[in-house]
Amino acid sequence: MKYKKNGENPFQPRGKIGIRWGIFAGFAIFTVVIIILLWVFQIALLESFYRSIKTQEIRSTGESITAQMQQENMNVFRMEEVITNAAQEKQMSILLSDERGRWTILKKSSPTSFLDRLSWVDLAQIYMETDSRGGKYLYSQNGNDGQPENMIYVSTFTEKGGDNRLLILDTSIVPVESTVDTLKIQLWYLTIVMILLGLGLAILIARRISAPIRQINESAKTLATGEYQIEFEDKGFREIAELGNTLRYAASELSKVEQLRRDLIANVSHDLRTPLTMIAGYSEVMRDIPGENTPENVQIIIDETHRLTTLVNDMLDLSKLQAQAIPLERSVFNLTESIREIMTRYDKMADFRFSFEANEEVYVNADELKISQVVYNLVNNAINYTGADKTIRVRQKVRDGVVRIEVIDSGEGIPADKLKDIWERYYKVDKSHKRAQVGSGLGLSIVKSILDLHGGMYGVQSEVGKGSVFWFELKQVSPDHNEKELPASSGRTS
Ligand code: ADP
């Protein structure tokens, strides 16, 4: 799937709404629900709330007065006090009488109350009716002539002294219409404020969340086109910033792999072509020109083939090492023994003289195969560049728990200004040097990569005309050491 910047966007999922609209919709629903709830409770249910509160209030006041009247040592003064207090506190008109309506205490809190219009006959009748209904009842009475509706609580009881009493409570139910009207106006304002507030908040939050996501999304699309030098924002909330960081990391890893791929193709095409041209050229000459089929020419073809093999192997090794495709297989092994073995193989080369100086057996925790490769590469270089005495010395030194391996030759040495460059890929000090043509120019890069992976130090001391000392260092461990080592600080010194 190839993404074109200005074309159709193949990443866009169908039937999904954007994050901004999602947040908007959420806020809109929330605001509408809150507004509806406010209207329902404040306007539609206000009356029934008010009524039920009033009903509860009149009933509990009636019951509390009845209970107080039935206490011991109740006298007329105290009765009056109880009734006056209750009437004042609850804004009710209260009447207390005996069963025949002859004796009454009346406290009126509202001028419209009908209690003072009741005659003793009425009271006696109410007493009898209430008594026959079980001693207690509550009813509401619609007001006449624009009078408000009243709620009335009646109860009969017997005092401690044996007297029967009648208690009537009367409270007016104020119509809620005017209150509702006031509330409505208030609610309209509130509704407008809430809509504006909801809208504002939705825009703010949507922007804080969606803007960075959209930015990251755009960058990711650019990344998908193969452009790895792209910046990812790490603004906004934590998760979004983390996403930005993750993508930035992915982009940098991708660009490394891409660089590696480019290098490899460029190098392969350049470096393989030379030996291949030689092989093809010599073969054709041998085929076409009589007498050219000499052992020397065959040897050249064989040499070039070997060179080709070394080159391909080195390229693969280096690519793998640099892409860290093969992990280090660390183990504790006897480095001294390992080098000794390598040197015995070289001993068979009759032209050269080799020596290995070591006065103790040293163990390291490292990848044995790769460290051997380091030694091979350094010794091979020494062979290629050593001087007339054709001597190569390998020396092991131990100091402060660090083992140092030195590969010493007496060749032409390396000029000081080139010392840094020799570790680079394909670098050759003197390209016309006969021996240099044998190498791939990758040997020291491989050495460097391996030692970097191990966190070991390495370097070279060289003097033109006298020779070079290539060295590397690893941490010494005890033979029974089996815990993992922390990588030491790596670096090259020249
Ligand atoms: P090559 O395959 O060319 O040896 P290397 O990466 O091993 O590639 O080495 C890079 C360059 O460093 C060589 O081409 C050579 O010029 C220089 N060099 C390496 N080892 C020595 C040495 N022991 N003496 C002198 N020059 C050396």
Which residues does residue 394 pair with via DSSP β-bridges, in sequence order?
A: 356, 407
pLDDT tens string 169-200 = 999 888 888 888 898 999 999 999 999 998 89
- Residues 408, 462: Cα–Cα separation, whole Å: 10
Burial of 405 (0-12, 13-18, 19+ CB in 10 A): buried
- Residue 94, classed as helix, strand or coil, is strand
Name the band, by pLDDT with cuts 50, 70 and 90, for residue 224. confident
Please give the mean pLDDT across all residues of the chain.
Answer: 86
CA 181 centroid distance within chain: 52
Ligand 1 centroid, distance to 102 Cα (angstroms): 133
Least confident of 129-138, 205-214, 269-278: 269-278
> Given the CA of residue 377, which atom of ligand 1 is nearest to it?
7
Residue 100 near residue 125 (C-beta atoms within 8 A): no
- Residues 262, 252: Cα–Cα separation, whole Å: 15
- Token pair 């792999």 is found at 257
- Token pair 């390229």 is found at 315
Cα 224 to Cα 1, 263, 485, 494, distances in angstroms: 9, 21, 39, 42
pLDDT at 3 over 70: no
Half-sphere exposure of 312 (CA within 13 A, CB side): 9
Choice from 321, 381, 384 to test ligand 1 binding pocket (greatest atom count within 8 A of CB): 381
- Token pair 């029934």 is found at 48
Ligand 1 centroid, distance to 422 Cα (angstroms): 6
Half-sphere exposure of 179 (CA within 13 A, CB side): 11
pLDDT of residue 435: 47
DSSP 8-class letter at 103: S
Ligand 1 centroid, distance to 390 Cα (angstroms): 16
440 lines ligand 1 (CB under 6 A): yes
The neighbour count for residue 377, using CB atoms within 10 Å, is 22
The DSSP H or E segment spanning 397 is strand 391-399
Q: Whose CA is nearest to atom 4 of ligand 1?
A: 439
- Residues 110, 90: Cα–Cα separation, whole Å: 11
DSSP 8-class letter at 57: H
pLDDT tens string 356-378 = 999 999 999 999 989 999 999 99
Name the band, by pLDDT with cuts 50, 70 and 90, for residue 57. very high
Written as six digits, the tokens of 185 are: 């106006």
pLDDT of residue 491: 46
pLDDT tens string 438-473 = 667 788 988 999 999 999 999 999 999 899 999 999
pLDDT tens string 5-33 = 555 677 777 778 888 888 888 888 999 99
Least confident of 59-63, 160-164, 232-236, 306-310: 232-236
460 lines ligand 1 (CB under 6 A): no
Q: Which residues contact 380 (CB under 8 A, 6 or more apart)?
A: 439, 443
Three-state DSSP string of 125-138: HHHHHHHHCCCEEE
Choice from 274, 373, 417, 422 to test ligand 1 binding pocket (greatest atom count within 8 A of CB): 422
Name the band, by pLDDT with cuts 50, 70 and 90, for residue 254. confident
- Residue 352, classed as helix, strand or coil, is coil
- Token pair 């080159």 is found at 311
- Residues 423, 429: Cα–Cα separation, whole Å: 11
- Residues 211, 20: Cα–Cα separation, whole Å: 9
User: How much of the chain exceeds pLDDT 90, in percent?
Assistant: 41
Half-sphere exposure of 449 (CA within 13 A, CB side): 25
- Residue 100, classed as helix, strand or coil, is coil
Residues in the chain, overall count? 494
Q: What angle do the packed helices 295-322 and 238-288 form, to 10 degrees?
A: 180
Could you give the dihedral angle defined by the CA atoms of residues 117, 120, 124 and 126, in that order, rounded to the nearest 10 degrees?
Answer: 0
Choice from 310, 375, 384, 468 to test ligand 1 binding pocket (greatest atom count within 8 A of CB): 384
CA 232 centroid distance within chain: 15
409 lines ligand 1 (CB under 6 A): yes
Question: Amino acid identity of 273?
Answer: R
pLDDT of residue 209: 84
